Amino acid sequence: MTIGDAIASLARADRLLVALDFDGTLSPLVDDPMSARMAPAARDAVDAIASSPDTTVALVSGRSLSDLRVIAEHGDDSVLLLAGSHGAEHWTPADGTRHPAAGEPTAAERAERDRLRAEAEALVAGVPGAWIEPKTFGFAVPSRTVAADERAELHARVDALMAAQAPHWRRRTGHHIVEYAFRAEGKDTALAWLRAHTGATAVLFAGDDVTDEDALGSLGPGDVGVRVGPGQTSASVRVAGIPELAQMLVRLAHERTRTRE
């Protein structure tokens, strides 16, 4: 499918959901995760598509919801929906922050999470540039700031800990990061919830990483998946990077507005 074909199809949808990963899709990848912000062109594109008729925009991220709101500069007056923690946390303009039926982590889950996180921190303490990123339902081991020849050993240490003590936790890999969570939701779960919540008749989902393939692989006829950058994918469209995705979204906003006037 060409970008033009995708835009033409999505422009005609009765109710369109545009769901977008954040890191690497709207924001450049950075060493300090909390310093990530949308590229200016991406911000303009998100604003444009969110303003087009009968269209809802959502950010879908592995970030904890509270962190996602910070890096997305997302206020209580925003029209953007959010799905954080790979879909285990939600935010809507009407409801504010909420979790799905399973609810907040229990006291036992929090205790296990905090104990394992502390043990992981002890394991990586001697590795220059290594640290543990807290998550609502677990933790992550970023390695972007670790020397390339030390990354495999770093992740092997934490893998061994989790295999021994929490083999039931879900393990995910991404761009120089491994994440562990006691909740199993993936971005396909997030997309299913967003589709039902918005009543979307067509979905565009864009992402750049392995974890985005859960969502891309769940798309159906009439939907469009966009892979941002290289890598094996089930997406029907590929763009080179953030600027090209932004251009696609702006074109879609213009065409959707034109066809529905």
Catalytic residue among 21, 67, 208, 212: 21
- Find the mean pLDDT for residues 92-97: 80
Give the per-residue pLDDT at 44: 98
Cα–Cα distance measured from residue 42 to residue 26, given in angstroms and rounded to the nearest whole number: 6
Q: Beta partners for 224?
A: 204
Q: What is the mean pLDDT of residues 136-155?
A: 96
Percent of the chain past pLDDT 90, that is, above it, reads 93
If one counts every other C-beta atom within 10 angstroms of the C-beta of residue 233, the result is 20
Beta bridge partners of 83: 60, 90
Average pLDDT (105-132) is 96
- Residue 149, pLDDT > 90, answer yes
The predicted structure's pLDDT at residue 58:
98
Assess whether 77 carries a catalytic annotation.
no
pLDDT in the model for residue 260: 76
Question: What does the pLDDT read at residue 209?
Answer: 94
Question: CA angle, corner 83, sides to 62 and 229, nearest 5?
Answer: 50
Assess whether pLDDT exceeds 60 at residue 101. no
pLDDT of 166 strictly over 60? yes
Mean residue pLDDT of the chain comes to 95
Tell me what pLDDT residue 100 has. 63
